Amino acid sequence: VPPRLPQLEGPPTAPPAAKTEERANLRFAGAPEITAAGGWSFKPIGRLQYDAGSVSRPDGIADPGLGFSNEVRRGRIGLEGEVPGAFGYKFELDFAGESVEITDAIITYEASDSVGLTVGQHNGFQSLEELTSSRFTSFTERAAFTDAFNFERRVGLSASFKSGPLLVQAGAFTDNIHDLDEDANDSVGIDGRVVVAPRLGDTQLHFGASAHWRDLGDLTALGMTTRYRQRPLIHSTDVRFVGPPGPPVESETHYGLEAALVHGPFHAAAEAHWLEADTLAAGLSPTLFGGYVEAGWFLTGESRGYRSGRFDRTRPSRAIEKGGIGAFQVNLRYDRLDLNSGAIRGGTQNGFMASLVWIPTDHVRFLINYARLNYDDAVLAAAGGDRSYGVDVIGARAQIDF
């Protein structure tokens, strides 16, 4: 046997290190959520709201939209998540109307624990009521001014700053994403909102103010007008008892004040909002007003959810899957909308409303509400030309979300 040659022998070769396998994790957080190392996540989101309601018929008004009506109010499906580098995304479609519409389509960036940026189609910072998700409102529809003043999602860039009880939000916006392919839809606007929300013991307080300006662009040059109008609480009817003929609006400036508190099972909220519309007509700049006062009580002891400057999900303390009855809440609201200003006579609506909400489990809600709506200077004349009358409205909703 030939001798070994030490100079040709090296140290024993170590076996290759086992490769670390990166695995995604699946957990349930209201819906299946997939997370992976490095900051990736993916989660489906959606909601389904089915509404039914009825509006009484004043004598002499034969509009077919009065009486019973029903609809799929919202049928949304989408996804949201995070990507490495403190970025995030959300994309959601609504199938409830005659065509599919994009609701949210955003890219987010968390610059720090206090500062966040958002680009894409999203809500501006109009009011507490508008920014509270439809999944968590205390009535089937929001306060009248939010629709009458044409609050909607628009494409833009916004930033938020949060430090303790202070929240500051601001953004610049163009048009709704569905209008961007129209050359005339070249509006630009700026929104700003400041919220101070201290927690004093068991009481959550909320004080806010917002300011808004919007230039409507080429719409007036093309003879387009702006309509300020509102349905009678339920969305499934197309009847509007208030709403002036659309003036040729060049720009809008509006301001809002908001206050709320949550203490144990009790909550209260109030808002006031003024909108001044500058029109092409000399000296015609109507100032319109909307606002509400609301109070609610959880009969089963829960507290209304609140987070980041808006109302949030309430989780029943005794959900039905745990042998309980879920959460029951009653709410009362006075809602005022005034579309009269100088030569603009769009009418006034005074709403006296009550609702009952049942939350059997975290992601299911049933609502029923009643409203007595009293009108003056209504745009629809009743028998004998009467424009001051009242209607009774009943609305109901079945909802599930994930």
Q: 359-382, pLDDT tens digit by residue?
A: 999 999 999 999 999 999 999 999
Q: Which of 87 and 3 is assigned the larger pLDDT?
A: 87
Q: Is the pLDDT of residue 28 over 80?
A: yes
The angle formed by the CA atoms of residues 266, 55 and 375, to the nearest 5 degrees, is: 80
The angle formed by the CA atoms of residues 399, 334 and 210, to the nearest 5 degrees, is: 85
Q: How many CB atoms lie within 10 A of CB 86?
A: 14
Task: For 193-243, write each residue's pLDDT tens digit.
Answer: 999 999 999 999 999 999 999 999 877 667 778 999 999 999 999 999 999
Task: Kindly write down the DSSP assignment for every residue of 223-269, as one continuous string.
Answer: T------B-SS-SS----SB------EEEEEEEEEEEEEEETTEEEE
The bridge status of strand 305-307 relative to strand 87-94 is unpaired
Structural tokens at position 373: 């709506």
| Among candidate residues 330, 333, 337, 319, the one with its CA nearest the CA of residue 371 | 333
pLDDT, position 15: 57
Portion of the chain with pLDDT greater than 70, in percent:
93
Task: Kindly write down the DSSP assignment for every residue of 325-383, as one continuous string.
Answer: --EEEEEEEEEEEEEEETTEEEEEEEEEEEEEEEEEETTEEEEEEEEEEEEES-SS--G
Among left, alpha and beta (phi > 0; psi -120 to 50; other), residue 140 is alpha
> pTM here?
0.90
pLDDT, position 201: 96
pLDDT, position 8: 45
End-to-end CA distance of the chain, in Å?
76
| Among candidate residues 147, 146, 372, 138, the one with its CA nearest the CA of residue 260 | 138
Structural tokens at position 31: 């819906």
- Give the residues across from 315 on adjacent strands: none
Structural tokens at position 206: 């909320």
pLDDT, position 243: 95
Distance CA 24, CA 32 (A): 12
Of 208-222, 265-279, 308-322, the poorest mean pLDDT is in 208-222
* Residue 125 backbone phi and psi in degrees, to 5: -125, 60
Q: Is the pLDDT of residue 170 over 80?
A: yes
Please report where in the chains the tokens 């080429």 appear, as a residue. 218
Distance CA 346, CA 145 (A): 13
